[in-house]
Amino acid sequence: MTTFPPEKAPKPGLNIYGYPAVNPYKLTIAAEELGIPYNYITVNIRTELESEWYLSINPNGRVPAIVHVKDDGTSATVFESGACLLYIAAEFDKEHKISHPVGTPEYWAQLSWLSWQISGQGPMLGQAAHFNRYAPEPVPYGSWRYTAEARRLHTVLDKQLSKTPYLTGPHPTIADIATFIYAHSSAWIGLPPPSPSEFPHIATWRDRLLARPGFRRGLESPVPYPFSDDRVTREEGGEGQEFYVNVRRWGSRGIRSATERWWREGGGRVLGVPSDGANLGGVEGGEGGEGEGGK
Ligand SMILES: N[C@@H](CCC(=O)N[C@@H](CS)C(=O)NCC(=O)O)C(=O)O
């Protein structure tokens, strides 16, 4: 049986395990939109992500995760932000304020956009942030590839929002919540914040979501969201800039050492680069230029 440090043990009700980074804010926004009480437990991402007690909640060692201790004494543990949002909707949104009833066409649309977010928008924009903000050495190809992909995904989102006020209809759902937090972090990721000229429908949707008390409260929990477009843009070149420089330096070092661990075989030998470089040459007798395009 896992022993928790007393202050990290789940309490009766909904426990959100998080840290002031992007994904955990999805859950505080959802909880605040629904007006459900929750206990926020901060996971120290330097020292606790791979602790035995946290891995017993999230075997992937990332935040967020939830533990719901129910009134009857049973509990449910869920990791991955998309699964946590679906859980919160299933357990706490019986009136479908931020979700659609299971099995309806709107439900499948919600699941499609949520899947798009967790498998595409999140990872691609995350890689853009990696190469633009954290890479310990300049990697122009990585920056180019993922920043361009981030713009493509913004374009997909903008087009959908040109047809409907929220992703799946007249009210926001967990799919909007998940997508919003990344769209609202464009400047940090390395794109200009969605503007009325370039991404007009994202800009209007974002402003509409930011006007909602639940979104505003969720963005303050446990501390004001550090990577929002307004905050990052305001601090750029200003006094608060030091915070971001430190986040980047510290993040860069942490990512390098964490990656180093996985760049070795069991015996400690450093792995070679798996590519044979064939992609770098010209193509003989082929049309070329029709790559798969990625995710
Ligand atoms: N696919 C996961 C991603 C979770 C994730 O990467 N969380 C980040 C914070 S936004 C994290 O735990 N970072 C810590 C680290 O990489 O060491 C989800 O949606 O929950």
Q: Could you read off the pLDDT of 140-175 as tens digits, one per residue?
A: 999 999 999 999 999 999 999 999 999 999 999 999
All structural domains of the chain with their residue ranges: 6-92, 105-233
- What pLDDT, on a 0 to 100 scale, did the predictor assign at position 73? 93
Using a 6 Å cutoff on CB, does residue 83 contact ligand 1?
no
Pocket test for ligand 1, best of 28, 49, 62, 115 (most atoms within 8 A of CB): 62
Question: Above 70 in pLDDT, residue 98?
Answer: yes
Task: Please give the average per-residue pLDDT across 240-258, as a whole number.
Answer: 93
- Among protein residues, the one whose CA lies closest to atom 13 of ligand 1: 62
Question: Above 90 in pLDDT, residue 266?
Answer: no
- Å from CA of 42 to ligand 1 middle: 14
- What pLDDT, on a 0 to 100 scale, did the predictor assign at position 23? 98
Averaged pLDDT score across all residues of the chain: 94
- What pLDDT, on a 0 to 100 scale, did the predictor assign at position 240? 80
Is the full-model pTM beyond 0.85? Answer: yes
Topology (CATH) of 105-233: Glutathione S-transferase Yfyf (Class Pi); Chain A, domain 2 (1.20.1050)
* % of the chain at pLDDT higher than 90: 84
Query: Do 56 and 1 meet the contact criterion of CB atoms below 8 Å apart?
Result: no
- What pLDDT, on a 0 to 100 scale, did the predictor assign at position 67? 98
- What pLDDT, on a 0 to 100 scale, did the predictor assign at position 28? 99
**Token duo for residue 69:** 């201790």
CATH class of the 6-92 domain in this structure: alpha beta
pLDDT band at 281 (very low <50, low <70, confident <90, very high): confident
- What pLDDT, on a 0 to 100 scale, did the predictor assign at position 288? 54
- Among protein residues, the one whose CA lies closest to atom 19 of ligand 1: 81
Task: Please give the average per-residue pLDDT across 29-39, as a whole number.
Answer: 98
